Chain A
Amino acid sequence: MTRNGKQNIGQMVLTLIMIAAALIMIIPLVWMISTSFKTQPEVFAYPVKWLPERPTWEAHRKVWLGALNFVKYYRNSLKIAVLGTVGAITFGSMAAYGFARVQFRGRNLLFGLYLLLMMVPPQILFVPKFIMFDWAGIYNTHWALFLPTMFTIIGVFYMRQHFLTLPKELTEAAIIDGAGHFTMFRKIFLPLAKPTIVTFAILDFTWAWNNYEDALVFLIDEDLYTVPLGLNNFLLEYSIDYPGMMAAATASIIPIVLVFLFGQRYIIEGLVSSSVKG
């Protein structure tokens, strides 16, 4: 057999192995969506019916139009995630620029503090934040969720890494021209750093959308619930309604899957360029 033929066979075998592995990765998602279109008795039929015999929208109808309506949870989550992301990107990119590109006294000390705070487990902040939010009158409001989201430490860290990789001459030339840092940030850096910023907008949005623990701790009223809390609530109310549970789970991942499909290239390249290089 020719060398080329051998190579092709190797490539086929490897592709098959990788496809098998990739199937394991997406089976829980496929299972989720497929179950959401089943009737209760069909859920655990064996061998598994990946395509339900008589697909039904019943479970989805229950999720979207039932007593626990997901439209409300969606609105709440969307509001928190959008406000939080806009803040995180604005304040985060400014701080990242300051730490990466401006010389000022105490810079390394302050940035060291950020690195230290990255180690802090969020659970250590539960009780003190609970007390502080209670004092400030924002406990059991959406403010308790989106305000902290607006200040991302990890985002500052990654965006700074990226700003460091942009050529130094860029800043120097513009400074000599007399452009202030604010002009430079707006006119030169933001356009250049657009891919990174889009990446972090997507990631921040994803994290805020999936944030379950803060919602669990800081929200009481069912009217204020976000999607992950609503999902949990669904389980408490209808514990063995498996198609319903999976329809609720499917509803909760739709925006993330959409964002991923459209922003895949950004997410992957952005993550790589800010953690590997620089």
Chain B
Amino acid sequence: MTVALVDIKPGGRGRILEVGGGSRARRRMFDMGVTPGVIVEVKRVAPLGDPIEVKVRGYNLLVRKSEASGITVEVE
């Protein structure tokens, strides 16, 4: 099943299918190791509802929902 990363509940994980968005935003994602094919796990959402914390390539990344909106993930 394909979902947007921002719609995954904390604890959910999946494989990144696509990193969308403008070219700069995408490149920034790649710089941080968020690339298609990589496993991503949503750890938690900030108390105020944004940003979110995800685990990718062995480290924890904080990202605003608006920045992560273009990321689609394949979940089992």
Co-assembled chains A and B: no
Q: Residues of B at under 8 Å CB distance from A?
A: none
